[in-house]
């Protein structure tokens, strides 16, 4: 027997595009509320005229309300949006795409959120929400969570909420600072995660990149040694995946190193390791913190990265990633990955 969606596609070809458009409008209002019509139109890439007619319809259905501050979802709108999520995943074939990508990459699980992070900044918030939800399902008893820096990790921190008292959480930076803005450094992100979950965190005030001589000296310091032991005993690691050249520039690497990475055709970076498209390590910086080999001993590894432009970096890193990895990504990256 044909599903409702298959029947709708044949008999009401305009129905599904309209449904998808109105779902996207509701979802975007849910993220931005309260939001003005002009800001919403810009975020959605719609003209104000087209958006006005859609907004009027949604108001008539009591799905959104508006006042002088902006538009927000009503309780009925929130309930409908929640009910629509499963249907939209089936409609877009996201469940099938998750399974295909999981088998291709040889990892534990793939979670895909709608949209493309390269096209909409709101998708990063969706990635953060999906990663936070996945983390909360894995918390049991006492947990040590090692976290890297970056804007995607900051988005995860924003979406975390308090845990029950029987789950003890300790957030620790997985490595030293990389020269990002303060709000995107691992220390700051761990502090926000701890605050949002009413739990504890540790700080790790060391540079991400040091010479071998300084590295050997620093790891003997009692505080640093203790933090490294905590990191290596983590039962969960949360990290991003970066574009190789972007990360090298963020680390203020020399022109010689940048040329080396370009000549080696490096495309991805994680934990200070740079990978080419075949997943081979073409360069490694001396970083204080978690190492690639440590991941094999950690039960839960969550990698979070989205946007079609990140597909090569994700694919390269996944050839080195442990089988326990859960990848949280978006449609833009996922669709590019399966076409590669």
pLDDT at position 139: 94
Q: Residue 214 has what pLDDT? A: 67
Report the side by side order of strands in the sheet with 142-147. 109-113, 325-330, 300-304, 236-240, 142-147, 168-173, 200-201
Architecture per CATH, 4-91:
Orthogonal Bundle (1.10)
DSSP state of 34: S
**pLDDT score recorded for residue 223:** 76
**What pLDDT score does 93 carry?**
87
d(CA 286, CA 89): 42
Q: pLDDT value at position 319?
A: 96
In this predicted structure, what is the pLDDT of residue 163? Answer: 84
| Residue 177: DSSP 8-state | B
C-alpha distance from residue 114 to each of 8, 17, 91 (Å): 21, 15, 11
- Which portions of the chain are predicted below pLDDT 50? 1
93-339: which CATH topology? Rossmann fold (3.40.50)
Cα 158-162-168 angle, rounded to 5 deg: 115
The full set of domain ranges for the chain reads 4-91, 93-339
Count other Cβ atoms within 10 Å, centred on residue 9. Answer: 14
Given a contact cutoff of 8 angstroms between Cβ atoms, the answer to whether 276 and 284 are in contact is no
């Amino acid at each position: 027997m044909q599903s409702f969606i298959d029947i709708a596609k044949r008999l009401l070809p305009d129905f599904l595009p309209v449904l998808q458009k109105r779902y996207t409008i509701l979802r975007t209002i849910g993220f931005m509320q309260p939001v003005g019509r002009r800001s919403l139109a810009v975020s959605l890439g719609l003209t104000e005229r087209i958006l006005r007619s859609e907004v009027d319809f949604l108001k008539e259905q009591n799905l959104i309300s508006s006042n002088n501050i902006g538009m927000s979802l009503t309780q009925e709108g929130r309930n409908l949006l929640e009910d629509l999520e499963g249907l939209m995943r089936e409609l877009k074939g996201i469940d099938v795409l998750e399974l295909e990508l999981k088998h291709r990459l040889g990892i534990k699980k793939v979670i895909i959120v709608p949209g493309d992070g390269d096209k909409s900044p709101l998708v990063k918030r969706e990635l953060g929400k999906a990663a936070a939800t996945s983390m909360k399902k894995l918390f049991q008893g006492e947990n040590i969570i090692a976290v890297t820096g970056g804007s995607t990790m900051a988005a995860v921190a924003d979406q975390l909420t308090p845990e029950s008292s029987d789950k003890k959480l300790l957030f620790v930076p997985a490595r030293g600072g990389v020269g990002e803005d303060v709000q995107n450094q691992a220390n700051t992100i761990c502090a926000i995660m701890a605050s949002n979950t009413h739990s504890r965190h540790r700080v790790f005030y060391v540079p991400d990149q040091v010479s071998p001589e300084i590295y050997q000296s620093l790891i003997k310091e009692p505080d640093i040694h203790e933090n490294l032991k905590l990191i290596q005993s983590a039962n969960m690691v949360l990290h991003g995946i970066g574009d190789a050249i972007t990360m090298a520039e963020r680390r203020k690497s020399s022109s010689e190193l940048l040329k080396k990475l370009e000549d080696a055709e490096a495309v991805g970076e994680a934990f200070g390791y740079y990978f080419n498209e075949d997943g081979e390590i073409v360069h490694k910086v001396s970083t204080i913190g978690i190492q690639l080999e440590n991941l094999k001993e950690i039960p839960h590894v969550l990698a979070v990265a989205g946007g079609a432009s990140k597909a090569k970096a994700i694919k390269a890193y996944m050839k080195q990633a442990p089988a326990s990895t859960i990848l949280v990504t978006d449609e833009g990256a996922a669709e590019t990955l399966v076409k590669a």
